Amino acid sequence: MDLEGVSYIDITPEISSSLDVFPGDVAFKRTVSFDNQKGNHLTLSSIESTLHLGAHTDAPNHYQKDGEGISLRSLDYYMGPCQVIDVSNIATFGGRIVSQDIKNIQIKTSRVLFKTCSFQHNNWNNDFCALSEGLVKELAKQGVKLIGIDTPSIDLMESKDLKAHTAVSENNMAILEGIDLNHVSEGEYQLISLPLKIKDADASPVRAILIPLN
C-alpha cells in the first residue's frame, strides 16, 4: 500500500505522565539521562510504564492462561478495512453496549471500532462504557476479527470475570482499547495499529491511525 500523500486521522492519545492508567497499574514515566538542551552531546531517555497504555492491544495471555504473547500475534488483525460505529447517543455510563443496540447497523468490515465518548483519557472515570459478551459473539459470527473501543477496556472497570475478553478469546479475535475517536465520524476506514514485538508481553501500546476510504 502506497501511503505517500495520503491523509489520515490519528486516533492515538498522546503518551505522557498526564495519561491516566488503570488505578494500581504503572503510570507512564520518562527519565532523561542526557539532555542536549543542558549541554550534553545528545538527548537520551528511558521509560517506565504499563503496557496497557493509551491506545493498546491486549495479547491473549492477558486474559487466557495459555494464550500467546503479543510478539506471536499475526499483524493481519491490526491493519486493514475497519468500520467506526458511533454509539455515543445510546451508551450508558457504567453500562455495556449490547447486540440490540446495533441491530439496524450493517457490519461491513472485519474490524469494528466503537465510539462511546464515555472516557476522558487525561481525567480517569470509573464508569466508562464497555461491550457485552453477546455483542462480541454476534460480531464474531459476522466475521469480525478485531474489536476496538475508546475506553480502557472492553469490560467494565470492576469486572473480574472479563466476559467480553473471554468471548474474544473463544472466537480468536483481537482487541484494540484506549483509542481516541472523539474527532472521528462514523464510517469505513483503513486501520493501521501495529503492536510492538515484545516477547511474551501481555499487551503493547500502538500508534493507531485511520485512513478514510472516501
56 catalytic? Reply is: no
Report how far apart, in Å, the C-alpha atoms of 201 and of each of 43, 180, 192 are.
28, 23, 20
Alpha-carbon distance of 196 to 213, in angstroms, equals 26
Q: Do residues 53 and 177 lie in contact, with contact meaning Cβ atoms separated by under 8 Å?
A: no
Cell of 152: 480502557
Strands 111-115 and 96-97: unpaired
Torsion of CA 145, 149, 154, 157, to 10 degrees: 170
Q: Where are the beta strands (DSSP E) in 39-110?
A: 44-48, 56-58, 79-86, 96-97
Alpha-carbon distance of 49 to 30, in angstroms, equals 9
Active-site pick, 56, 62, 121, 165: 62
Alpha-carbon distance of 56 to 75, in angstroms, equals 14
Residues annotated as catalytic (active site), given as ranges: 62
